[in-house]
A and B are shown apart, each in its own frame.
Chain A
């Protein structure tokens, strides 16, 4: 079974509209972290936002917010007031547990290709 599922291969959104990118995850760990990364055509993975499994409030970073629904195991990314520069691939990722002295590798979804139209 996939640990990270992103069901939207591609999305077209009008500039200035809000957009929600879906992500569901699967883990039996109690402690885990959820991340969203943006990958423009240049290829670099840009960190956007983080949500810890014990965080009670949804994470926010500027125009980005994470709609965390623990019981549903979903961690959707919301981008408010989309801009042309938001066009990129967006990846949801999970870090399960935490080993002593280090951070486990991330498990990524397959991504959503977001295109903002003027």
Chain B
């Protein structure tokens, strides 16, 4: 079974430029998460999707961040414009329907963003 796929793996941009990250979850997983991991820290949740609905985006900085999950499968996270403080690893995770599982989340390899 294929795992969570993310692209690109690395991205270097200058501040004020836009950037987008793409995630393809494990087949059949309804729930998708985006996390941000700053250097030396654990991941922090940005947004959670149930199918195509964003059910928890309370930690997403909405002035510059946006996300979408069209058709309830792939998802895109966008930053516009990027700031120096956005340098981090952006992780995507997915899990099957929580009613019948323990809600274990499976992570992709992440996108390491460097803003210059």
Residues of A at under 8 Å CB distance from B?
4, 33, 35, 37, 42-47, 50, 52, 91, 93, 95, 98-111
Contact = CB atoms under 8 A, between A and B. Distances in A.
Contacts of B104: 35, 47, 50
A108 B106 contact: no
A52 B112 contact: no
Interface string B40-58: 1111110010100001100
A66 to B, nearest CB: 13
Nearest to A45: B107
8 nearest A-B pairs in the assembled complex, by CB-CB distance: A108-B42, A103-B103, A105-B45, A103-B98, A45-B107, A102-B50, A44-B109, A43-B110
Given A104-B56, A105-B56, A45 B43 contact: yes
A1 B51 CA distance: 32
B48 A105 contact: yes
Among A47, A52, A101: residue with most chain B CB under 10 A: A101
Given A42-B109, A47-B105, 9 more contacts: A43-B109, A44-B108, A98-B103, A101-B50, A101-B97, A101-B98, A104-B48, A108-B42, A110-B40
A37 B104 CA distance: 11
Interface of B: 30-31, 33, 35, 40-45, 48, 50, 55-56, 89, 91, 93, 95, 97-99, 101-110, 112
B42 A102 contact: no
Given A91-B42, A109-B42, A110-B40, A103 B55 contact: no
Contacts of A45: 43, 91, 93, 107, 110
A47 B108 CA distance: 11
